[in-house]
Amino acid sequence: MRGRPAHHPKVLLKLFIYGYLNRIRSSRALEKECNRNIELMWLLKQLSPDLPISIGNNFNFRRDNADGIRKVFQATVSIAKYFNLIGGKLIAGDSTKLRAQNSKKNNYNQSKIDRHVDYINQKLENYQQELMLADGEQKKEIKKKILKQKEHKVKYELLQAELDATNQEQISVSDPDSRQMVLRNTITEVAYNIQSTTDAKHCLPIDYLVTNNNDSKALGNMVQRASEIVGSTEFIAVFDKGYHKGSELKKAQRLGIKTLVAIPDISSASMAPDHAYNVSQFV
């Protein structure tokens, strides 16, 4: 027995773009708007995607149609170029960090795995000493605790094996592509880092890229992508101090792209003995 036919992906894409443009992120709110918002009734031709099946699976929709969504974005950039809305003379790049569906608790690196394994080994050693002095019911309880710790140890051994096999510095269990990264100062979060570049003529975004690296490794790749999009290297690229890294600036230089990148703050420990030679004194 067949149910109702699924909504075409372009219907859901229209709905999500409308939601983003109007800051409606809740699936329930989108469902409500489909039945009372005249703009959406016109846009969706009075179709009403329901919450649990269509809208509620918005994460799956974005994941399963990532290539299609990117092609739609690229098509809008092509249209903008056709109508001379992209200047290709000055672009600015920046990033936005979006929290992943993976908590810090479920993110592991070598030091964290080692710390857990050392803790388990210490607990097992303590339980073994207690076991020699215990009897009766007390002995049964300690054996249960030993078994539980051994099960935990197997979990970390499997994580260690995965870390070794992939040569990655981190493993995220529930959202595998995400990584723990610095948000600001000493504050970290398991997140994605979305790089984007915008053309200055009409402030239109021309490119985006979802990464799991900090900004220091992004500049070279983003200016190369920008040059392919605008069809030239005769532009100036502006980035903030998070992108100030010699190897990345060198990549842009090799492409012949002029970059203006803010210089990172220098700590007082790095100041020159003669203050006239500090970076702040140079123009």
Percent helix, strand, coil in the chain, to 5, is 55, 20, 30
Q: Which residues contact 169 (CB under 8 A, 6 or more apart)?
A: 109, 110
Q: Which residues contact 111 (CB under 8 A, 6 or more apart)?
A: none
* The one-letter amino acid at 92: A
User: How many CA atoms, within 13 angstroms, populate the side-chain half-sphere of residue 277?
Assistant: 5
Read off the pLDDT of residues 30-49 as tens digits, 9 standing for 90 and up: 888 888 889 999 998 888 77
Looking at residue 7, what DSSP letter applies?
A: P
Q: Which of 142, 141, 140 is nearest to 123 (CA)?
A: 142
Read off the pLDDT of residues 131-183 as tens digits, 9 standing for 90 and up: 888 888 888 899 999 999 999 999 999 999 999 998 888 999 888 888 888 87
As a whole number of angstroms, the distance between CA 84 and CA 9 comes to 30
Helix boundaries (H) for 109-241:
110-133, 136-166, 219-230
Per DSSP, the three-state class of 260 is strand
Read off the pLDDT of residues 196-220 as tens digits, 9 standing for 90 and up: 999 999 999 999 999 988 899 999 9
Looking at residue 214, what DSSP letter applies?
A: -
Supply the pTM of this predicted model: 0.73
Residue found under tokens 């710790």: 149
CA dist 131 → 127, 128, 151, 179, 205 (Å): 6, 5, 18, 41, 66
Report residue 8's pLDDT band, with 50, 70 and 90 as the boundaries: confident
Percentage of residues in the chain with pLDDT exceeding 90? 50
* The one-letter amino acid at 50: D
- Between vectors from CA 51 to CA 46 and to CA 55, what angle results, nearest 5°? 80
Task: For residue 172, give the H/E element and its range.
Answer: strand 170-172
Give the DSSP per-residue string, 64-107.
HTHHHHHHHHHHHHHHHHHTT----SEEEEEEEEEE-S--GGGE
